[in-house]
Amino acid sequence: MLMKRHDISLMRIERIFLSHLHGDHVFGLFGLLSTLSMSGRTEPLHIYAPEGFDRILYFYREHFLERDTYPVEYHMLAAAEPETVLDDAQLTVTALPLRHRVPAYGFLFKEKEPELNVRKDAVREYSLSVDEILALKAGQDVVRADGTRLCVERLAYMPYEPRSFAYVSDTAVFDALPEMVRGVDLLYHEATFGDDCAEKAGQMYHCTARQAAGIALEAGVGELVIGHFSSRYKDPSVLLCQARDVFPATELAWEGRIFEVPAKKQIL
Annotated catalytic residues are: 24
Return the CA Rg of the chain: 23
- How is 17-77 classified by DSSP, letter by letter? E-S--SGGGTTHHHHHHHHHHHTT--S-EEEEEETTHHHHHHHHHHHT-S---S-EEEEEE
What distance separates the 2 farthest-apart alpha carbons in the chain? Answer: 75
CA within 13 Å, CB half, 201: 24
Going by the DSSP 8-state scheme, the letter that residue 266 receives in this structure is P
Residues 206, 203: Cα–Cα separation, whole Å = 8
Residues 213, 191: Cα–Cα separation, whole Å = 9
Going by the DSSP 8-state scheme, the letter that residue 225 receives in this structure is E
Q: Report how many helices (DSSP H) and strands (DSSP E) the chain contains, helices first.
A: 10, 16
- Reading phi first (left if > 0) and then psi (alpha if -120 to 50, else beta), residue 6 is in alpha
Neighbouring C-beta atoms of residue 75, cutoff 10 Å:
14
Task: Write the single-letter amino acid at 204.
Answer: M
CA within 13 Å, CB half, 158: 9
